[in-house]
Amino acid sequence: MSGQQLSIFDKPAKPEKVTQGMKILKYMRDYGSITPVEAFRDLGVMRLGARIYDLEQEGIRIAHERETSTNRMGEKVSYSRYRLEQ
């Protein structure tokens, strides 16, 4: 810090805001992929597809895969799984 001394009255520097996109990127790096259920459960992100679109608009390459599973009522459901492209 260029020789200036901080006082207790100085405002602290604002920490960088962690965006939903940043959380999603970290999750995909840490766990390999993410689904809408994981995004909501683990990150509190309700509109994963919209955040993926935002990341792609920033130039981040993301692979989309459609998966099918069975829900609690025995019904067939489809959802997307997203991964960072290598």
Q: pTM value? A: 0.79
Which domain range does residue 46 map to?
20-84
The CA-based angle 64-69-72, given to 5 degrees, is 135
6 domain-assigned? no
pLDDT at res. 50 = 97
Which of 44, 48, 37 is CA-nearest to residue 71? 37
pLDDT at res. 8 = 67
The total number of structural domains in the chain stands at: 1
Which of 32, 9, 27 is CA-nearest to residue 85? 32
32 domain-assigned? yes
10 domain-assigned? no
Write the Ramachandran bin of 79: left for phi over 0, alpha for psi from -120 to 50, otherwise beta: beta
Beta strands (DSSP E) in the chain are: 62-70, 76-84
pLDDT at res. 60 = 96
Question: Which residues, at least 6 apart from 67, have a Cβ–Cβ distance to it below 8 Å?
Answer: 35, 78, 79, 80, 81
1 domain-assigned? no
pLDDT beneath 70: ranges in the chain: 1-4, 6-8
